[in-house]
Structure 1
Amino acid sequence: MFETSHLVLRAYRNSDADALQEMLNTYSVSIGASTDFVIPHPESFKDTLRELINKWTFYAVVEEKATGAFVGNAALRAQNKRDRDALLGIALVPEKWGKGYGTEVVNFLAEYAFDGLGMHRVSLEVFANNERAIALYKQAGFVQEGVKRKAAWIQGKWVDNVLMGILEEDFRETQQQAQQEKP
């Protein structure tokens, strides 16, 4: 189990399946977090979730520290072990958006990727119309590295897929700047 200022990141339990399925069945989450068709997932989807979870190097359920309320999930996958490149994934329930939880989770994942997993870089992909997420990733020190033009069909139109990444040295510099800015 890991903790940030306001959150707990813990191992998946079978009892989390309902909350995860409900989150992924929420239109505003599904439309921004997946390239799959946005459809209501049936009860059998919980088995698929467990299989997907096992493919991640690090996977955690995110809860509020004070209340134990479900916030979402966070994950890292060592997609290129030789070059020490991890893929970052995060999804939060809409009720918890705008509370700074995304920032805590992304900062934790980046730090854990570098300090805990020995990664050299962390990569992610985000839809260009997800401006809140892009701002969050930039705040954490991620930079845009490329664009897959018109790569996703979302709500009746083509949307670019933005490729972002952060190197360990850039993360350290971002952390150092944040420490210097604190009063």
Structure 2
Amino acid sequence: MDFSVKPVLTGDRAVLRPFTEADAERMWEIINDPEVERFTGSPGHELTPELVRAWYGSRSAQPDRLDLAVTDPADGGLLGEVVLHEWEPESRSCTFRILLGARGRGRGTGTEATRLIVGYGFEELGLHRIQLDAYGYNHRALHVYEKVGFVVEGVRREVEWRDGAWADEVLMAVLDHQWAAHRGRPLADDGRPLADRGRPEAGVTAR
């Protein structure tokens, strides 16, 4: 398993590529987007432009994680990031996260970027399990994760006080054999699991 290789992954709505230090200024703007701040946890320390520059300038040298820039295939504009991190070699597992600025939202970019990097994790890196956590009120993200095959494994109730209310944390994961069966497309157009197509009695997947 080789995280030192930083690939370019190309789709119709997104191109994932390695970060460079030149991306720091745009990522600083994205990180400070109010909606990004609402749906992501605190970094644990005060961010500065200098720290962000050092961070993104060093992503391509990391041997145990994969950070890729999400870009617009039309003009190469930087839209956000996708990450596989917290690698556990013994269990062949990683944690996934995605962060998109305003320009990258509401156009299918997040769905495709997620499929691209998760597919790479299973098909090229040989991962067995990819997991994530998300705030319970982040309904758009939870829908995307379900759409690409992540399954809810549990809810940590009221883990954090955010925006004047207690927030739940939803835990989700997808396994290699699940991915091999659906390649990130487990749901039919009508919202039902693909395995249930042709079975009128099957219930619609909960949203």
Q: TM-score, normalised by structure 2?
A: 0.78
Identity level (%): 26
Q: Which of 96, 113, 137 is equivalent to 1:88?
A: 96
**Is residue 45 from structure 1 mapped to residue 51 from structure 2 by the alignment?**
yes
What residue number does 1:167 align with? Answer: 175
**2:183 aligns to what SS in structure 1?**
helix
1:123–1:177 distance in 2 versus 1, CA, 3 Å: closer
The residue type equivalent to 1:46 in the other structure is: V
Tell whether 2:100 aligns with 1:100: no
Segments of structure 1 that go 5 or more residues without pairing to the other structure are none
Question: 2:21 touches 2:53 (CA, 8 Å); kept in 1?
Answer: no
Q: Output aligned runs, 1:59-74, within 5 Å.
A: 59-74=67-82
| Matches of 1:91 and 1:62, distance apart in 2 | 9
From 131, 156, 165, the equivalent of 1:123 is 131
Gaps of 5+ in 2: 1-7, 190-207
* Residues 74-126 of structure 1 deviation map (CA, whole Å, 9 limit, x = unaligned): 11025211101111111011222110001101111211110111100110010
The one-letter code sitting in structure 2 at the alignment partner of 1:117 is L
- The correspondence for 1:35, drawn from 32, 35, 42, is 42
Structure index of larger Rg: 2
Other-structure match for 2:23: 16
Q: Does structure 2 conserve the Cα–Cα contact (< 8 Å) formed by 1:144 and 1:163?
A: yes
Which structure shows the bigger proportion of residues in strand conformation?
Answer: 1
Query: What root-mean-square deviation, in Å, do the aligned CA atoms of Structure 1 and Structure 2 show?
Result: 2.5
Cα distance change of structure 1 residues 80 and 57 upon mapping to structure 2, 3 Å threshold: same
> Counting helix residues as a fraction of each chain, which structure ranks higher?
1
- Once residues 11 and 160 of structure 1 are traced to their aligned partners in structure 2, the CA distance between those partners, rounded to angstroms, is 33
SS at match of 2:52: helix
What is the match of residue 134 of structure 1? 142
* Cα distance, 1:8–1:148 mapped onto 2, change above 3 Å: same
Aligned residues: 180
State which drifts further: 45-54 or 16-25: 45-54
Q: TM-score, normalised by structure 1?
A: 0.87
Which amino acid counterpart does residue 25 of structure 1 have in structure 2? Answer: N
